[in-house]
Amino acid sequence: MAEKYTKEEEILKRASQGDAEAFGVLYERYAPRIFNYVYYRTGNVHDAEDLTARVFQRALKHIHRYTDRGLPFSAWLYRIAHNLVANWHRDHSHHQEIALDEVLPTRTSSDHPEATFLQNEEQEILLRAIRRLPPNRQHLLILKFVEDLSNAEIGRIMGRSEGAIKSLYHRTLLALRAYLEEESEYWQESLLHPGEEE
C-alpha cells in the first residue's frame, strides 16, 4: 500500500472523504484483529468471516460520522463488532462458548516433560475457571489480555464507563481467583487419591 498513508489521522480523513485506497489501509491494519475478536465471541470461522465483512461494510458506510474522542479508531470498530456479535447471538438464540483454549497461549517445555505436564494442567485449570464466568466477564478478559485494550477502550466497546469496567474487572478477578482455588484443590485431591472414584 502507498507510503503516503503513514499517520492514522490522515488515513481516516481521506477514508471519510471516500478514498478507497485509504480505507483499504485501515482494513489491512484492523481486519485480522477484528476477525480474532469476532471468532473468540462466536467460535465459528464461517460466521466470524461473515461478521468481520459486515463490520467493515458498516464502517465504510458510516466512517464520515466517526470522530476522535480521545479513543483510537480501533475502539470504534470493536464497538461495531460488539453490536453485530450481540445481534448474532440473539438471532441464533444460544450462547456459543468462547474458544478460550485457542485464545490463551500454550506454553511447552520439551526439555522437561514434568514441567510441561504441570503447565498443561495449570492451563486446563485456568480454562475451566474462565468458562465458569458469565459471558460478559469472559468478553472483558479477551479485550483486556488478548486484545490488550485499556479500560477506557473496553468501556467504549461494552457501553460502560471506565469506572464500571474497573469495577467489573476487579469482581472478575476475585471470582476467577475463587474458581481457581476450587479447581486447584480438586486437582490436588485427584493427584493424592487417584482412582478412588473407580
CATH code of residue 90:
1.10.1740.10
What CATH number does the domain containing 183 carry? 1.10.10.10
Q: Does 120 lie in the same domain as 91?
A: no
pTM for the complete prediction?
A: 0.64
Per the structure, the count of domains in the chain is: 2
* 3-class SS of residue 76: helix
Out of 63, 96, 129, a domain closes at 96
Q: What is the pLDDT of residues 106-120, one digit of tens each?
A: 444 445 555 555 566
Handedness of CA 46, 47, 52, 58 (dihedral sign): positive
Out of 80, 96, 112, a domain closes at 96
* Mean pLDDT along residues 169-182: 89
The pLDDT value given to residue 2: 47
Q: For helices 151-158 and 162-192, give the axis angle rounded to 10 degrees.
A: 100
Q: Does 118 lie in the same domain as 31?
A: no
Residue 52 to residue 45: CA distance in whole angstroms: 10
Q: Does 174 lie in the same domain as 159?
A: yes
Q: What is the pLDDT of residues 123-170, one digit of tens each?
A: 777 777 887 888 888 889 888 887 888 898 899 888 899 999 999 999
Could you give the C-alpha distances from 104 to 17, 41, 142, in angstroms and in order?
39, 14, 9
Residue 28 to residue 120: CA distance in whole angstroms: 34
Residue 103 pLDDT > 60: no
DSSP 197: T
Out of 96, 111, 129, a domain closes at 96
Q: What is the pLDDT of residues 29-71, one digit of tens each?
A: 999 999 988 888 887 889 999 999 999 999 999 998 887 766 7
Q: Does 129 lie in the same domain as 76?
A: no
- Choose among 113, 114, 175: nearest CA to 141: 175
Categorise residue 195: left if φ over 0, alpha if ψ from -120 to 50, beta otherwise. Answer: left
Q: Does 41 lie in the same domain as 121?
A: no
Q: Does 108 lie in the same domain as 83?
A: no
Q: Which residues contact 130 (CB under 8 A, 6 or more apart)?
A: 100, 138, 141, 176
Q: Which domain holds residue 164?
A: 101-198
